[in-house]
Structures are given as structure tokens and as C-alpha cells.
Chain A
């Protein structure tokens, strides 16, 4: 069974540009989560999508946005890139069932570098 996939693996942008990162969840998973791991920091929650709706967002500015498509894949958009947006962006998916033990499985990440 294929795991969570993310593209691209690496992305280099300049300050002020926009970045689009993509994520395909494990087959059968309906919830997608985005996290940021900046240098020296832990994983910070960005966004959660379930059944096409944004369910929760972390403490990030509105220029971080995304969406979830009918096939449950997801896109993260970062507008007006700043140098401090350079980080590893991780996508996770889960079954999305309303059960206590719903576990998130992570993709390999997209390394975004802002110059």
C-alpha cells in the first residue's frame, strides 16, 4: 500500500513569490494535515482538512492557505514568501474516523528554500 506522497521534493523560490505544495493521502484516508518544521524548531501544526473542509488552522498568517480536493489530495499555498518560510513542510493523513485512536501517517516532506 502506497504511503503519503508529497511533491515536489525540493522547491526554491525568491522572497515575495508564491509556493504551491501538493500532498496525496494514503488510499482510504480522508483527513489531511499540514505541518511546518523550521530549523531548530519542532513540528508546528499549520492546517487540517477533512472531507474537503478546513477544520482547524494553527497560529500562522493568512498567507498560508490550502484546500482539499474531492479525491482527498491537498494543496498548500504560501503567498508573499518570506525568508523565514524556509522549512520542511510535512503532510500527514489519517482515516478521519471519529475514533479516539485515529493515527496520522506522514509523507516525506517538501523542502522549501526561500532566497
Chain B
């Protein structure tokens, strides 16, 4: 039973355009959501996060939106660059220790290709 789902295994976008990566979750007890970028044979690199008390967080070209009622989050990359080509993982944290810390539950990833 997948608690975090990334339904698009791949996405292709033209350089300069917007990339939108989507993620759905089922567990209403998740309190913290993160996006990681991963290249083959490397560890995931943290990109951006959002806590359940917010609906938007922005960092440079990256913006994450959280819709708690729909149990949906999305990552927007504007403008997309060829160097953004990688696998993007959505992750959610189970609450522990009174609402903080804890292991992450990952989606299966979306492979983003940004074409020049």
C-alpha cells in the first residue's frame, strides 16, 4: 500500500518553460514534506520542503505547493534548465516524538528531462 505516490514516471519539458511535478499521499498524519533530486548512482540531494501548516514555500526557481484537503503537493521549477534533468522524489515524514523527526516515506520518483 503506497502512502506516497508519484503517478508520472517521467516528464519532458523544454528549457525555459515550467516543470510541474506532482505527488499524492494518503496518510493524513504526515506533517512534513520534502522534495529531493537524484542523479544515478548518487545520493538524493535535498531541494525544498514544506510543513503541513503552510500551503506554499519558495526557494529561487523552486516552489512547492501543498493542498492538505486534496492530500496533494507539487513542485514547480521555473524556468527549467537542462541541469535540472534528474529523478525527483517526493517524501513525507511520519510523525514521531510528539510531532517531529522520524523516517521518510518516499514516492517512486519522476524522471525529469529538460531539453535545450
Whether chains A and B associate is yes
Binding site for B on A (CB under 8 A): 4, 6, 31, 33, 35, 41-45, 48, 50, 55-56, 58, 88, 90, 92, 94, 96-109, 111
Contact, CB under 8 Å: B89 / A48: no
Cα distance A104–B109 when bound, in Å? 17
Kindly report which residue of chain B lies nearest to residue A95, judged by CB atoms.
B101
Over the window 78-116 of chain B, the binary record of Cβ atoms lying under 8 Å from chain A Cβ atoms (1 yes, 0 no) is 000000000001010000111111111111110000000
B31 CB within 8 Å of chain A: yes
Looking at the complex, which one of B44, B51, B96, B98 makes contact with A106 (CB distance below 8 Å)?
A: B44
B49 CB within 8 Å of chain A: yes
Kindly report which residue of chain A lies nearest to residue B36, judged by CB atoms.
A106
Q: Which residues of A lie under 8 Å from residue B31 when comparing CB positions?
A: 100
B26 CB within 8 Å of chain A: no
Cα distance A58–B45 when bound, in Å? 22
The dominant DSSP class at the B interface is: loop
Kindly report which residue of chain A lies nearest to residue B53, judged by CB atoms.
A100
**Size band of the interface chain B makes with A:** 20 to 34
In the complex, how many angstroms separate the beta carbon of A96 from the nearest chain B beta carbon? 7
Q: Which residues of B lie under 8 Å from residue A104 when comparing CB positions?
A: 34, 46, 104
Contact, CB under 8 Å: A109 / B42: yes
Looking at the complex, which one of B41, B51, B105 makes contact with A45 (CB distance below 8 Å)?
A: B105
In the complex, how many angstroms separate the beta carbon of B73 from the nearest chain A beta carbon? 15
B60 CB within 8 Å of chain A: no
Contact, CB under 8 Å: A108 / B43: yes
